[in-house]
Structure 1
Amino acid sequence: MSAAVSSSLRPWRFAPLNPEACQDGKDSSFKGVVFDVDGTLCLPQNYMFQEMRSVLGIDKSVDIIGHIRSLPALKDRTAAITKIKDIEQRAMVKQVPQPGLVELMDYLKSKGLKRALCTRNFETPVNHLLKTHLSQHEFLPIITRDTPDILPKPDPAGILHIAKEWGTKPEDLIMVGDSLDDMTAGHLAGAATILLLNDHNQALKEHEHTHFWIKRLDDMISILEYGIAEPKVNPKDDDGDWVTEE
């Protein structure tokens, strides 16, 4: 399933989740958060992609999934997928949760907000991460590389599917990730996007598909508590205070 929604970067507004910070008394239309996995819920395991390209015999300019899809023979596609799964399964035991992961998830759970996953990882390492580090939290639906009939990011189909399952509009969601694919998928779906910064994605702070950026996952708590109106504004000012909606 593939779908795209035209969406220009716009001020994204919602009522602060902290009742004391609400000035107009309006309820928030914010329904939940969609998360990427590798590099977002856990620290990046970039070495995996180098290994994948090596075993597939492709260079870094070639998209891994696109390459596999382009293989003409089913047996070749199956063999390539098996190699990728083997690398991910070896790497999953080395997953390290992102700083602030549990704190953010506990906060979202306390507010009754929905959580879902949209990742290009296979299902096994995703389930390992959830079982090992987030066993008290529920993510529904979970879109992985194994999910049939939904094209992977940067196609927005996964996010649109999640919004439909939740019975809400994509505009009421946030997509959180660490890559351009994450930002593009969220933007095309019509959702707000939050970039989790690392040493390799700093340039994406200024990309047209990035609404906001954070340094740690639990930085999102104050964003949601107090609300943000303008895109391209880091939620903290130079003095470390949170910028709130007037």
Structure 2
Amino acid sequence: MNDQKQEDLKPRRFAPLHSSTAPLQVNKSTPPLKGVVFDVDGTLCEPQNYMFSEMRSALEIPKSVDILDHIHSLPEKEQQIAQEKIQAIERRAMLVQKPQAGLLELMEYLTERGVRKGICTRNFDTPVNHLLTNFMPSQLFDPIITRAFRPPKPDPAGILHIAKNWALDDGGNSLIMVGDSIDDMTAGYRAGAATVLLVNEQNAHLARHEHTDLCITRLDELVSILEEGFVGQVDRSEKNPETKQMATEALQDF
């Protein structure tokens, strides 16, 4: 196995954000964190998974069919009608959005430490703006990648677009993607970013997925992790049972 392959299999690391924290030094294996990209539904706000069954019912498609893939496969005029159907469901759901536990604590910490924040979501812009206006009016997220950007997650294009916007020359390698779905984990992994799963009862199986680097149960758990230096608990292979056990420990509350 060559050196690059061995490096890829190591747990992801970032240097501590607190300059006086010494356990990890900034070097090739512990680079500085340049930004964090967030999903929206189920990540910045509590999950509203009932929307997906309502959307599939409105579009008359089974659970096995991806909603956006289906819409994009339709003739152009039918695409607009389908988009309006699912947007109506999202507009109703946004009126009962609830912020995730630890949301403001994490965002204020990232702002204090000068860490850029971006959004990459499969939602359309209205629910995203509603969330930001009502729960984080003073927080800057830029750029914000919504459903209008194609291709959507799990394609890494949205995250790579954010990295390019931030003038990063290493793709997503200096970023963390925080989300709650396999689309988030896979998009982040394929972009080269470290991935953090906000774990819940529905997505707990993803803690053991090869695309998941670390698990948290509430957003502000990331504060101490980033302060002391990010170290992924799951390596980039399927061959390390110890790191999988570490990921499983994050699920003890469920």
State the TM-score, normalized to the length of structure 2: 0.85
Which of 91, 94, 110 is the aligned partner of 2:93? 91
Distance 1:165 1:200, change over 3 A: same
Q: Is the 8 A contact 2:233 2:247 kept in 1?
A: no
Distance 1:179 1:236, change over 3 A: closer
SS of the residue corresponding to residue 67 of structure 1 reads helix
Q: What are the superposed Cα offsets for residues 27-52 of structure 1, whole Å, 9 maximum, x if unpaired?
A: 85211100000000000001111110
Tell me, yes or no, if structure 1 residue 36 matches structure 2 residue 39: yes
% identity of equivalent residues: 55
Q: Is the 8 A contact 1:153 1:182 kept in 2?
A: yes
SS of the residue corresponding to residue 122 of structure 2 reads coil
Q: Is the 8 A contact 2:34 2:116 kept in 1?
A: yes
Map of 1:134 onto structure 2: 136
Alignment of 1:41-190 (within 5 A): 41-71=44-74, 73-147=75-149, 150-168=150-168, 169=170, 170-190=172-192
SS of the residue corresponding to residue 213 of structure 1 reads strand
User: Higher mean Cα deviation, 85-94 or 8-17?
Assistant: 8-17
CA distance in 1, matches of 2:70, 2:158: 20
Q: What are the superposed Cα offsets for residues 204-227 of structure 1, whole Å, 9 maximum, x if unpaired?
A: 000000000000000000110111
Q: Which runs of 4+ in 1 moved over 4 A?
A: 6-9, 233-238
Q: Is the 8 A contact 1:9 1:209 kept in 2?
A: no
CA distance in 2, matches of 1:37, 1:163: 18
User: Higher mean Cα deviation, 207-216 or 12-21?
Assistant: 12-21
SS of the residue corresponding to residue 20 of structure 1 reads coil
CA distance in 2, matches of 1:58, 1:25: 51
Task: Report deviation, 1:19.
Answer: 2.2
Map of 1:244 onto structure 2: none
Look up the equivalent residue of 1:47 and give its one-letter code.
Y
Indicate the structure whose relative CO is greater, using CA pairs within 8 Å and at least 6 residues apart. 1
Distance 1:58 1:8, change over 3 A: farther
Task: Report deviation, 1:9.
Answer: 4.9
CA distance in 2, matches of 1:117, 1:203: 24
Tell me, yes or no, if structure 1 residue 196 matches structure 2 residue 188: no
Q: Is the 8 A contact 2:122 2:146 kept in 1?
A: yes
Distance 1:153 1:24, change over 3 A: closer
SS of the residue corresponding to residue 171 of structure 1 reads coil
Q: Is the 8 A contact 1:223 1:235 kept in 2?
A: no
SS of the residue corresponding to residue 182 of structure 1 reads helix
SS of the residue corresponding to residue 194 of structure 1 reads strand
CA distance in 1, matches of 2:249, 2:154: 30
User: Higher mean Cα deviation, 20-29 or 9-18?
Assistant: 20-29
Distance 1:12 1:191, change over 3 A: same
Task: Report deviation, 1:20.
Answer: 2.6
Look up the equivalent residue of 1:33 and give its one-letter code.
V
Look up the equivalent residue of 2:207 and give its one-letter code.
K
Alignment of 1:206-217 (within 5 A): 206-217=208-219
Q: Is the 8 A contact 2:207 2:248 kept in 1?
A: no
Task: Report deviation, 1:107.
Answer: 0.4
Distance 1:78 1:127, change over 3 A: same
CA distance in 1, matches of 2:8, 2:127: 34
Note the residue ranges of structure 2 that are not aligned, 5 or more in a row: 235-242
Q: Is the 8 A contact 1:9 1:211 kept in 2?
A: no
State the TM-score, normalized to the length of structure 1: 0.88
